[in-house]
Structure 1
Amino acid sequence: MGSLLVIGAILFILINLIYFFKNKEFKYSYFSTKMFYKLFFVLTGVMIAFAVLYYGLGINGTVLRYSMPDGEPVPHSFTNYLYFSGVTILAVGYGDFLPVGHLRFFALLEAAIGLLLPSAYFMKVLNSKDRE
């Protein structure tokens, strides 16, 4: 069950990223409401998909610990993983949860996506304005 969730989440993340970069229906302006909504929903979808991925990885063992000196495991609940995914993709990183094991790699990947997608959004908007 856990590996099925992980595979499904990874596929969903990839589909969202492909959709973002392949779809070329943008208005030629500095701010495009359509592009903003697209970015918002793609980031939200990727955040939820990473939370599902983390939840799937957490079925097999501890993947999040509290960052307190005792480092107790964070309870296995979707809301904890959704919270961790949200602060990771938004580059907030409160530091209350620490990823362990394979989750560390996926957290880095999610943080990179959280930084690169908005950058790509601004580059596309500026590029479309230059073509005008």
Structure 2
Amino acid sequence: MIPAILMAITMLFILVNLYYFFTNKTFKKSYFSSALFYKLFYTMLGLTIGFAVLYYALSSYGTVLVINDPTGEPADHNFLEYLYFSGVTMLSVGYGDLVPVGSARLFSLLQASLGVLLPTACFMKALTSSGEKGSGSNS
């Protein structure tokens, strides 16, 4: 019972913090585009699922992921395993519990690059848009 209450309180705390982040206008020149945020979110979600399908398809030709331990056994062959690996790769977390092998190594590098570059490009777009709005109001 106590763990369920702690989880509920924690989730509420996280939601309140996210709400505060997206609605608080502390800085006068701050700019948040919900459209840009949703575009980034859905693009990254789509890429994560897409790469998971790719890894799953590659696994029909041979081992794609191995467990990172001395035995080096292949990871379970199920879509959720590939989705998990795709998610931690896309978010550049890379826990190291699963290691890509073969052609999956190239695709995981490409995916990790996209996971770093897409949010950066989104940030630069928002920063550029913020600068344009700020310069227009001063004239």
TM-score by length of 2: 0.73
Secondary structure in 2 matching 1:131: helix
Name the amino acid aligned to 1:84: F
Name the amino acid aligned to 2:122: Y
Aligned residue number for residue 23 of structure 1: none
The higher relative CO (CA closer than 8 Å, separation ≥ 6) is in 1
CA deviation vs aligned residue, 1:39-84 (integer Å, no higher than 9, x gap): 0000000000000000010011101000000000012110000000
TM-score by length of 1: 0.77
Q: CA deviation at 1:128?
A: 1.1
CA distance in structure 2 between the aligned counterparts of 1:89 and 1:62, rounded to whole angstroms: 20
Name the amino acid aligned to 1:94: Y
Aligned residue number for residue 94 of structure 2: 93
Aligned residue number for residue 15 of structure 2: none
Larger radius of gyration: 2
Secondary structure in 2 matching 1:65: strand
CA distance in structure 2 between the aligned counterparts of 1:131 and 1:64, rounded to whole angstroms: 46
Aligned residue number for residue 105 of structure 1: 106
| RMSD (Å), alpha carbons | 0.9
CA distance in structure 1 between the aligned counterparts of 2:127 and 2:76, rounded to whole angstroms: 44
CA distance in structure 2 between the aligned counterparts of 1:105 and 1:31, rounded to whole angstroms: 34
Name the amino acid aligned to 1:90: L
Aligned residue number for residue 62 of structure 2: 61
Q: CA deviation at 1:30?
A: 1.8
Gaps of 5+ in 1: 1-28
Aligned residue number for residue 120 of structure 1: 121
Secondary structure in 1 matching 2:92: coil
**4+ runs of 1 displaced by more than 4 Å?**
none
Q: CA deviation at 1:91?
A: 0.7
Aligned residue number for residue 17 of structure 1: none
Q: How does 1:1-132 map to 2 (within 5 A)?
A: 30-132=31-133
User: Percent identity of the aligned residues?
Assistant: 58
